[in-house]
Amino acid sequence: MDPDQIDPASEGRVLSPDDGDYLRFERTLAHPPAEVWQALTHPDRTAAWAYRTEFEPREGGAVTMSSGGDGEVLAWDEPHALEYAWEGYGGRWHVRIAIADSHHGTLLTFDHVAPDPNNPDFAAGWHWHLDRLEQHLAGEEPAQVDSDAHFEELQRLYTHAEG
């Protein structure tokens, strides 16, 4: 993946159903659902593309993040659905992830529910992390950095889209 090329199909968009706004990303990944699930839930794998995250694999289980956040698993349906929330930078974070078979591998639906799904920095951050997830799944090792030129470009993209 060329980090200088931003595929419009991979961009997040805010949806506004009756129960509140959320930021949605949809990605088609060329890997089977079980492989995607492992990349999303195994601590060593999550550390490669985001933050080391440990899950107690059940609804109501604990979530512990290397970034200092602690929370709870809200849904655990291996390898189809994962939902969790944690206290972290900016308040209570909440994400929902759905994994479905696709003709090309896996359809990943990633929803950022809170905090503020309209914040362009959160959109840029999740977009960047999902790009890094794709690199990890492709066998690449994303650089262990908090930011890079690709992230800065995503920040410009989402900030401009908002304005």
Residue 2: both structure tokens together: 């060329």
Render each residue's pLDDT in the chain as its tens digit; 163 residues: 444 456 666 789 998 888 889 999 999 999 999 999 999 999 999 999 999 999 999 999 999 998 888 999 999 999 999 999 999 887 899 999 999 999 889 999 999 999 999 999 999 999 999 999 999 999 999 988 888 999 999 999 999 866 5
Q: What's the pTM value of the predicted model, to 2 decimals?
A: 0.90
Nearest of 83, 102, 85 to residue 93 by alpha carbon: 85
The position carrying tokens 């951050």 is 125
Taken in order of first residue, the domains within the chain and their CATH numbers are 10-162 (3.30.530.20)
Nearest of 1, 3, 2, 6 to residue 148 by alpha carbon: 3
Asked whether 50 and 40 are in contact (CB, 8 A), the reply is: no
Residue 45: both structure tokens together: 């794998």
Report in angstroms the alpha-carbon separations of 55 from 18, 73, 111.
30, 7, 18
